[in-house]
Structure 1
């Protein structure tokens, strides 16, 4: 008799009706894999965007403009520039406990509380080819999930399961951007969308590196973002050029894009860097090439996580150098309610589902 578990199955591109909470077969382990009991699973923009098909190259709108509608996807690349494997289980963040292992996996993992590295290099770290938990194969919106043992990282700390569930996608994405952009102590970094999951992580991780942090967020969220370490806070409606002046910023970390993109290049110093892993205000931007090449600016795109990124995060957690920003928890069965509230963007940090 097949053993069953509860999971949220995303059945196709569309609205909340595509999220079906049901019984499914337990994962069966293959060589090199471990079975993890999911203790907490964070919610990210990417799960919603994947369900909607926003990553398709045929979509030009912001994520806000598409959050409650069925998109007209003209090409079958509605996942991360590839077809999404519907029906499947989403969930990119996972804090869990290892409960079973394949025969070729070291037994000392059993019983450990772990985080899963969401971004997996398919070959090795010499290739940028990657797949993502909960986007390219079954993820953590379930009672159990399986993954390669190489992507499982034990963590020893006093954080709750829900607090650890805030970490993988947001903090991994943030640390990867700062690692690639080589942010140094004493540099000035501008962070847009600073109250979101990735933004709030970036404020902390940039301060940890000794940078001066200028954070852009809605005015009502400034107090909470300040507590994360931001040195200067600006409202989303602020005239950034008037407030900061041209050539005043060493690094821009921008997952917003849209109409503000040209301003970001003007703010950068000669030799400055612009790094991004998203475009929630719109993926198509105006680029004046002169603002880029005449100032020797580097434009850095990041999706595939570099090898040091996730081990670094585990170390930061265990040494108490960062803290979680947990906004609220929901039961797994209430995923639609959680995503609806998530899209209201009234919170700071992360929402987490508990199976």
Structure 2
């Protein structure tokens, strides 16, 4: 089978041995896979001497074979892959055995993948292959941050720095269906327009003065994945006693915080990451109920995986980037 791998310090296409579905496992013929920021970071965490690892966490495809003991799926079923490994029930934090598909295990940028049967779910019928292939990692991350951790309520206002990331496009749609008002930021005028078209109520220039722009707004909750560049700015506009949910740090990991200002404001700072199988199934029911579609900015072929990775690094996309593995 053909796969896009990281091997001995380089990313490349490589022929790999087809895996075999053993007891309790399913073999999925991948139709599409989705790129995530994690895929860009993985090579730098492996070193120059590491053997071939298939990259990718998101994917969707058709079950090609099943191992003994699998009764809930059949050959030919259309499925999506859950990259959150070993996290089944909703909990305050991931269990110790939690991991993410794509390192250390082989990932989804391949024609065939074998997984435990509990790591796949039926593909939502209203989604195209491209939409299904980019759904889970970003969608589940957004769902947990917004509902489980953020506890968004009807009539509240959500503020979100950054409008173009995959998670942001899910959060806009999820929050609007939950009855919230949504305000986002972006340096790009085009992305601000796209965010409004997707359902955001307001889209600010990231370089503007947020306190001035939001003087007439009451921000109940902030969801921030940028980190150092935006966290303190977000606290400036968050109402006293409001919630700030952080699920990422695309800038710096460490942030200087004025503790006196923080505790006088009675703010709630909440961490979040990915989500459980229980939350994934709740998210799938939610997107089915409201017929929500992932936003796919661009689709590349597996042969164009290098171009897709570079496009992701440039950060020009609005929404998700897909890899077409098989027609």
Distance across 1 between alignment mates of 2:242 and 2:36: 29
State the match for 1:22 in structure 2. Answer: 14
Deviations 1:19-54 (A, max 9, x none): 12011111222332111010100111110012233x
SS for the counterpart of 2:192 is: helix
State the match for 2:226 in structure 1. Answer: 256
Change (3 A) 1:284 1:111: same
Residues 1:149 and 2:117 are matched in the alignment: yes
Distance across 1 between alignment mates of 2:249 and 2:233: 15
State the match for 2:95 in structure 1. Answer: 128
Residues 1:187 and 2:156 are matched in the alignment: yes
State the match for 1:68 in structure 2. Answer: none
Conserved 8 A contact 2:163-2:191? no
TM-score, normalized by length of structure 1?
0.84
SS for the counterpart of 1:340 is: helix
Conserved 8 A contact 2:161-2:230? no
Distance across 2 between alignment mates of 1:110 and 1:312: 25
Change (3 A) 1:242 1:154: same
SS for the counterpart of 2:173 is: helix
Distance across 2 between alignment mates of 1:340 and 1:106: 41
Distance across 2 between alignment mates of 1:122 and 1:195: 28
Conserved 8 A contact 2:169-2:294? no
Match of 2:134 among 166, 175, 198: 166
Q: How does 1:1-355 map to 2 (within 5 A)?
A: 5-12=1-8, 18-53=10-45, 87-106=52-71, 108-121=73-86, 125=90, 128-129=95-96, 130-179=98-147, 180-217=149-186, 218-245=188-215, 248-355=218-325
Distance across 1 between alignment mates of 2:124 and 2:157: 33
Change (3 A) 1:299 1:171: same
Change (3 A) 1:201 1:86: farther
Gaps of 5+ in 1: 54-77
Distance across 2 between alignment mates of 1:11 and 1:172: 29
SS for the counterpart of 2:16 is: strand
SS for the counterpart of 2:109 is: coil
Change (3 A) 1:151 1:260: same
- Structure 1 runs of 4+ aligned residues shifted over 6 Å read none
By how many angstroms is 1:307 displaced? 4.3
When the two chains are superposed, the root-mean-square deviation of aligned CA atoms in Å is: 2.2
TM-score, normalized by length of structure 2?
0.91
Distance across 1 between alignment mates of 2:277 and 2:150: 15
Higher mean alpha-carbon deviation, 115-124 vs 167-176, is at: 115-124
Distance across 1 between alignment mates of 2:88 and 2:295: 33
Change (3 A) 1:85 1:254: farther
